[in-house]
Structure 1
Amino acid sequence: MSDDEKTPAREIITDYAQSHFRYFRTADGTVYAQRNGHPVARPIRSQGTTGSHRQELMVGLYRDGVGVFNGTALKEALDLIEALALTEDVQPVHIRVAPGWDGATWLDLGRPDGRSVRIHPTGWDIVVPDPREVCWRRTQLTGELPLPARDTDGKGIDLLLRLCNFATAQTECLAIAWLIGCLEPSVPVPAPFLTGPQGAGKSTGGRMLTRIIEGMSGDLRRAPKDEENLIAAVAAGWVTALDNLSHMTPDLSDAMCCIVTGAENVKRALFTDGDVFRARYRRPLLLTGIDVGVIRPDLAERLLPLRLERPRVRRTEAELWADYAEALPVILGSLLDLTVKVRAVEVETPTDLRMADFAHLCAQLDVATGFGSLAAYRAALDDLNDDVIEGDLLAQTVLRHAADVEPGTAQRMTSTEWLHHFTRLYTGEECRLLPKGWPTTGKVLSDRLKRLQPTLAARGVLIDSGRTYEGRYIEISRSPAAPPHQQQTL
């Protein structure tokens, strides 16, 4: 056969690839390859250590006796495949948790055979998902989970609570509600903040909660120094666990708010002038630490404080984690059983809480089990409001002003007039110095009051703003029936 009659190598590779793999694109234009009948998809341009499609294709060509091809032929074939795939239908890829058909959700067990857990209000099962329903994306952070045990009769929940050092029953039910929320891709869940005295096992407890979802390779990480690295770490896994936080900058606080409730990051694509790269993310977040200082009000509404206590009996790390690894299949099975039971419950959604989806989940958990998780969640938010107020002298001054206001009445002034009023109220007759960070202009005061608005409203102090022909104004009033907590505080 002459050289002109030989089939070009790029065509051989392209024919083999299209007969053994399914190619599709995501909404951001990234092209993925999925082996026929297997749910795991890999970006065709990936060179990652978890196995790229290029490596997968080379191995398949060699093992099936097609041949070994040089890099130029592979590149030309992949360029053609990528161009063809851009005309295919759009399908999303998911990490660890994904929505499915008929109201089901999926949990990726991280296994080579692709077996995953399908969770439905009627039950759960371990199957290989239809690639058209679920496409998994795996990274170095995707650990393998054991096959969950069946017919556990709730023993796994008891095992988990015995291994962790939660201080109260209210803390225990909130931790369980958070774990159930992590199995629902459409529900934003507040970030648990594991706190307690030194030696309470905060890091160990955080690892245990994380590894139920991420496997035994899941671990805690130090908070990245910049938002870009934080987003990269968040995008590569499902649960992001940050350990031993002692200080929280405003930028880190804002980034955590975006992680919990969802946001999109857009930046210039590498090696291009005009293309952009879009990264959408919303992930469960877990934090540990003794104290992070002043908590900003917007983050406080997205936190879930879980207090731990020092264990009475100490155990070695090897013994503790050996017991945990043995109990993990039972823990996961019990959690799945409880998730199915909770999802089958119909309740009304509480409308007074910001994280309404999580509040609805707590209400479902209470009906299904008899726990008091919704009341515990309200109490936890109330404690966080106290923390915000204790760390903000302006909030304390506004509450001091409201204590002398008749309930049901309102006072209206400009932001500058309110600034002079609060400044005089804070300095008092002794004319003490203003603290660092005190508002310096009416605009700064207005912005601070907007941030404090939900916190103060929880204490019965209502803040409104508007405009008349004379200019802008801020109106502060006390609700007619102030909450008992506020009446005691004031």
Structure 2
Amino acid sequence: MSEDEKNPAREIIGDYARSNFRYFRTADGTVYAQRNGHPVARPIRSQGTTGSHRQELIVGLFKDGYGVFNGTALKEALDLIEALAMSEQVQPVHIRVAPGFDGATWLDLGRNDGQSVRIHPTGWEIRTPDPQEVCWRRTQLTGELPLPAKDTNGKGLDLLLRLCNFANAQTESLAIAWLIGCLGPSVPVPAPFLTGPQGAGKSTGARMLVRIIEGMSSDLRRAPKDEENLIAAVAAGWVTALDNLSHLTPDMSDAMCCIVTGAENVKRALFTDGDVVRSRYRKPLLLTGIDVGVIRPDLAERLLPLRLERPRVRRTEAELWAEFGEILPIILGSLLDLTVKVRATEAEIPTDLRMADFAHLCAQLDAATSFGALDAYRASLDDLNDDVIEGDLLAQTVLKHAAGIDPGAEIRMSSSEWLHCLTQLYTGEECRPLPKGWPTTGKVLSDRLKRIQPVLAARGVLVDWGRTGTARYIEMTRPTPPEPDEQAGMF
């Protein structure tokens, strides 16, 4: 019997694995494997339908003539590999978009050969990334993108906008700005909310925007029933598109805010009492619907309304998607060309908007193309403030009360006194009943005012909190408008 035949099976598997794969761990302790020279990483313990490293190892051993090994030998070899990998260098894994070296970013095309797009300060190119630079994580939601076309002269975006039913040029500029933002791994982008009358093609338009980034196999989803399912769906892909929203609970609204600007979720690890699993997420989000009811102010600051109109000519689904699939390489190539141009353009960072990174991107887009995206973004936020006020009776009552305050005057009262004042103003002489959800205590009123404070400020009403030597107070002010010559000096 030869020496190779005397070796235990686990040693054969371990030697083969170390010769053909690179092993590393992420910050949360998950161990991944990468085939030498290939950027796609697979967790060694995953048993999912997207393929685990265990399955990859079995196939490789069989095809390379080592035979088939039993489960015990594989488990022992993988246990040793996992233990050894815990001392290796920590490296993150990415889905679809990743930062690279020297200021570059990468876009995963979802191809089996690992070819990706490298976007760098002077252009973009198609190549296979160095595994030391980028590790791609693939899931069932990772669709394949076509190879982008070169030298498109920007016609791809014109072809895209011709297929969509955006209401005006301002909406088109915001849609393009959002697509550029989706190609940046570190820039939080607001969530587009596609609205319009019934039959305006909101779902079709949303699919087109998503498939530019996620491939033709991606689709819209129904809104999950709870926050945990929403986070699970977000973690498995890059762009999450939720269709036909008709109502948002406070918990779902807060969860969407966290998805847009980033947060961390911690839960108990399975089959343990003291260990936890951490998951960080900040992903692009897209929503469609005719009306989602009351929009909370914090979510409104993170939305990007894109209004569509009904098309004059209807087309069949088969005809529409056949054309879209044919021009997708051109659209993607044009988008990449514009992304490089925008990133190379200098522009001042607006300091008055919540989503400052996206506002800066809009300013860069305007400097590169004169689209007017930043003005369109400001106008869209102003419209959302109107929607928030229309759905919040307390905000309406505060604005009604503030209308009687002289410009520059300050009114200070305790929270209980403000509650009594605003309640009396709402009920009026006819003593109409208070609506459901009206504040019942001064503390509840104070918390509600803090939530709608940005909306009130956008309408010229400043609310602040302070303390005297004996008590706390809430102050309401209408600033004095600037003189005409001062306004002229601002520009």
TM-score (norm 1): 0.97
Matches within 5 A, 1:242-257: 242-257=242-257
Q: Which residue of 1 aligns with 2:489?
A: none
Where 1:464 maps in the other structure, the secondary structure is: strand
Cα separation, 2, equivalents of 1:348 and 1:180: 18
Partner of 1:449: 449
Q: 1:364 to 1:3 in 2, by over 3 A?
A: closer
Structure 2 residue aligned with 1:60: 60
Cα distance in 2, alignment partners of residues 36 and 123 from structure 1: 28
Cα distance in structure 2, aligned partners of 1:121 and 1:198:
42
Please name the residue that 1:308 is paired with: 308
Gaps (5+ residues) in structure 2?
485-491
Match of 2:245, SS state, is: coil
Cα deviations by residue, 1:190-225 (Å, 9 ceiling, x for unpaired): 000000000000000000000000000010000000
1:74-473 to structure 2, matched below 5 A, reads 74-473=74-473
**Structure 2 CA distance for aligned equivalents of residues 78 and 463 of structure 1:** 60
Counterpart Cα distance in 2 of 1:419 and 1:469: 22
> Is residue 460–residue 482 contact of structure 1 (8 Å, CA) maintained in 2?
no
Deviation at residue 66 of structure 1 after TM alignment: 1.6
CA distance in 1 between counterparts of 2:300 and 2:213 reads 24
> SS of the counterpart of 1:265?
strand
SS of the aligned residue for 1:29 comes to coil
Deviation at 1:67, TM superposition (A): 2.1
Deviations 1:54-112 (A, max 9, x none): 01001111111122110000000000000000000100000000000111100000000
Report the Cα distance in structure 1 between the residues aligned to 2:5 and 2:66, rounded to whole angstroms.
18
Q: Aligned in 2, Cα 1:482/1:326: closer, same or farther, shift over 3 Å?
A: farther
Deviation at 1:4, TM superposition (A): 12
SS at match of 1:277: strand
Question: Does the 8 Å CA contact 1:192/1:305 hold for their aligned counterparts?
Answer: yes
Q: C-alpha separation between the residues in 1 aligned to 2:2 and 2:65?
A: 22
Q: Do 1:460 and 1:483's aligned partners in 2 also have CA atoms closer than 8 Å?
A: no
Show CA shifts across 1:351-383 (max 9, x none): 000000000000000000011000000000000
1:48 shift after superposition: 1.0
CA distance in 1, matches of 2:5, 2:230: 54
8 A contact 1:459–1:483 mirrored in 2:
no
AA partner of residue 290 (structure 2): I
Distance across 1 between alignment mates of 2:433 and 2:380: 34
- AA paired with 1:358? F
Shift in Å, 1:168? 0.6
Q: Percent identity?
A: 85
1:34 counterpart SS class: strand
CA distance in 1, matches of 2:170, 2:299: 21
2:420 counterpart letter in structure 1: H
Letter in 2 for 1:300: A
Query: Letter of the aligned partner of 1:391 in structure 2?
Result: G
Whichever residue aligns with residue 29 of structure 1, its letter is: G
Q: Describe the superposition over 1:290-336 as per-residue Cα deviations: whole angstroms up to 9, x where unpaired.
A: 00011000000000000000000000000000000001000000000
How far off is 1:483 after superposition? 12
Whole-Å Cα distance in 1 between the matches of residues 4 and 369 of structure 2? Answer: 74
- Letter in structure 2 aligned against 1:319: E
Q: CA offset at residue 473 of structure 1?
A: 1.1
Distance verdict in 2 for CA 1:195–1:466, change over 3 Å = same
Aligned residues: 484
- How many angstroms apart in 1 are the aligned matches of 2:2 and 2:85? 33
Distance 2:25 2:76 in 1: 19
- Counterparts of 2:369 and 2:230 in 1: how far apart (Å)? 37
SS of residue paired to 1:102: helix
Q: List per-residue Cα deviations over 1:139-195 (Å, max 9, x = no partner).
A: 000000000001000100000000000001000000000000000010000000000
For the 8 Å contact 1:459–1:482, the answer to whether it is kept is: no
Alpha-carbon contact 1:100-1:133 (below 8 Å) kept: yes
| Deviation, structure 1 residue 49 | 0.8
Matches within 5 A, 1:37-48: 37-48=37-48
When the two chains are superposed, the root-mean-square deviation of aligned CA atoms in Å is 1.4
In 2, distance between residues paired with 1:146 and 1:3? Answer: 49
- In the other structure, the counterpart of 1:487 is none
- Provide the C-alpha distance between the structure 2 equivalents of 1:181 and 1:211, rounded to a whole number of angstroms: 15
Alignment gaps of 5+ in structure 1: 485-490
After the TM superposition, which parts of structure 1 deviate over 3 Å for at least 4 consecutive aligned residues? 1-5
Cα separation, 2, equivalents of 1:95 and 1:45: 18
TM-aligned CA distance change 1:117 to 1:483, over 3 Å: farther
Alpha-carbon contact 1:94-1:137 (below 8 Å) kept:
yes
**Cα offset for 1:5?**
8.3
Q: Indicate the residue corresponding to 1:6 in structure 2.
A: 6
For residues 3 and 387 of structure 2, what CA distance do their matches in structure 1 show? 78
Distance 1:470 1:433 in 2: 34
